[in-house]
Amino acid sequence: MLTSSLELPHLLKVLADPVRLRMLALLEREELSVGELARALDLAQSRVSNHLRVLREGDWLLERRLGTSTLLRSVAADASAAGDGLSGRLWEALRQELRNLSGHEADLSRLADVLAERRQESTEFFDAVAGEWEKRGALFENGQARQRAVASLLEGDLTLADLGCGTGYMARALGGFAKRLICIDPSPGMLQEAKKRLSHLPETTQVEYRLGDFDQLPLADGELDGAVAGMVLHHLERPDAAVREMFRVLRPGGRAAVLELAPHKEHWMHKELGDRHLGLASSDVLDTLARAGFEDLHVDPLEDRYCPTPPGASAPVSLPLYIVRGRVPKGPSPRA
Q: Minimum mean pLDDT among 75-84, 158-167, 216-225, 238-247: which range?
A: 75-84
Average pLDDT, the chain: 87
Q: 316 falls in which pLDDT band (50, 70, 90)?
A: very high
pLDDT over threshold 70, residue 264: yes
Half-sphere exposure of residue 23: CA atoms within 13 angstroms, side-chain side: 31
Rounded to whole angstroms, the Cα distance separating 86 from 334 reads 74
| pTM score | 0.64
Q: φ, ψ for residue 92 (rounded to 5)?
A: -60, -40
β-strand partners of 264: none
Burial of 1-30, coded b for 16+ CB within 10 Å and e otherwise, reads bbeeeebeeebeebbeeeebbbbbbbbbbb
Domains of the chain (ranges; CATH) run: 5-136 (1.10.10.10), 144-327 (3.40.50.150)
165: closest CA among 254, 228, 85? 228
On the question of pLDDT at 149 being above 80, the answer is no
pLDDT tens digits along 71-128: 999 987 665 555 566 777 778 888 778 888 889 999 999 999 999 998 898 888 878 8
Strands 32-33 and 319-327: unpaired
What is the Cβ-side half-sphere exposure of residue 88, based on CA atoms within 13 angstroms?
Answer: 13
pLDDT tens track for 175-228: 877 889 999 999 999 999 999 999 888 888 899 999 999 999 999 999 999 999
